[in-house]
Amino acid sequence: MSTIADNIAQVTSRIHAAVLAAHRDAHSVQLLAVSKTKPAEALREACAAGIRNFGENYLQEALSKQLELADLPLIWHFIGPTQSNKTRAIAEHFAWVHSVDRLKIAQRLSEQRPTDLPPLNICIQVNVSGEASKSGCTPADLPALAKAISELPRLTLRGLMAIPEPTEDRAAQDAAFAAVQSLQASLNLPLDTLSMGMSHDLESAIAMGATWVRVGTALFGARDYHQP
């Protein structure tokens, strides 16, 4: 059985190889460790191996891990579906939200972001797979949404996030991630972030400009959603 530290080394070398192949700067891609369903001890182990940024999908689970790991210098990213009744806790307890897909949620996050914290970093989740995915704004709605979010005072719009339809076909992966990159370029806003690529498709995402890859399974093993 491989340890989390071994997995981190493997994923880091995959990222490094993809960055080199794309002729990109070595520091232009960051690893976001997606730790949903994993116990706090697994995050502690990853932190000991150098990971600082963690992505969580479920608010209550994330908050309880944050309490358990309060002694560690971790940076928390919310990457799950956002609902109005969760925005206050998200605004108070995270540095980033990757999954904003409507203005109402962004407005609440801005209003509820504590003034003693820096602005909340935001990525707009965009749906580039059409019917195949229900979350994310449509490419057609993106320009107006991005402009409106970029004007909210307590948020910093950093870029886009996408979860294309899973496929092992590299050409299809490349096409989906290229579409995200070109949507971002078309916005004409000062954006520096593309959150895209997971365990199975991070090479393609990096080739197409990803700056955060969000990796769960390849770091922590398969998830068991049926644990007590």
Ligand X SMILES: *Cc1c(COP(=O)(O)O)cnc(C)c1O
* Interface map 129-148 toward ligand X (x if CB under 6 A): --------------------
162 counts as binding ligand X under rule CB under 6 A: no
Complex with ligand X: residue 114 or 218, whichever CB lies closer: 218
Closest-approach residue to ligand X (CB): 216
Instruction: Point out which span in 44-52, 62-70, 168-176, 212-220 binds ligand X (CB under 6 A).
Output: 212-220
Binding flag, residue 199, ligand X (CB under 6 A): yes
Among 3, 13, 60, 217, binds ligand X (CB under 6 A): 217
CA 45 – CA 72 distance, rounded (Å):
11
Q: Which among 174, 102, 145 is positioned nearest to 182, based on CA atoms?
A: 174
Q: Quick count: other Cβ atoms within 10 Å of Cβ 122?
A: 25
Tell me how far CA of residue 50 lies from CA of 29, 47, 85, 86, 108, in angstroms.
15, 5, 34, 30, 33
215 forms part of the interface with ligand X (CB under 6 A) = yes
Using the 8-state DSSP alphabet, how is residue 125 labeled?
E
3-state SS, residue 77: strand
Is residue 30 a contact residue for ligand X (CB under 6 A)?
A: no
Residue of the chain from 11, 79, 145, 183 that contacts ligand X (CB under 6 A): 79
CA distance 115 to 37: 31
Strand partners, 193: 159
Smaller CB separation from ligand X, 108 or 214: 214
Give least dist CB 116 to ligand X, A.
Answer: 28
CA–CA distance, 127 with 106 (Å, rounded to integer): 17
Exactly one of 19, 43, 163, 210 binds ligand X (CB under 6 A); which one? 163
Q: Rule CB under 6 A: is residue 216 a binding residue for ligand X?
A: yes
Smallest separation (angstroms) from ligand X to the CB of 36: 6
Q: What are phi and psi of 44, to 5 degrees?
A: -60, -40
Where do the H-state alpha helices sit in 94-201? 103-112, 142-150, 170-186
Question: For the CA atoms of 136, 14, 29, 149, what is the dihedral angle to 10 degrees?
Answer: 0
Shortest Cβ distance from residue 127 to ligand X (Å)?
A: 13
Of 38 and 108, which CB lies nearer to ligand X in the complex structure?
38
Using CB under 6 A, list all residues that contact ligand X.
34, 36, 57, 79, 163, 198-199, 214-218
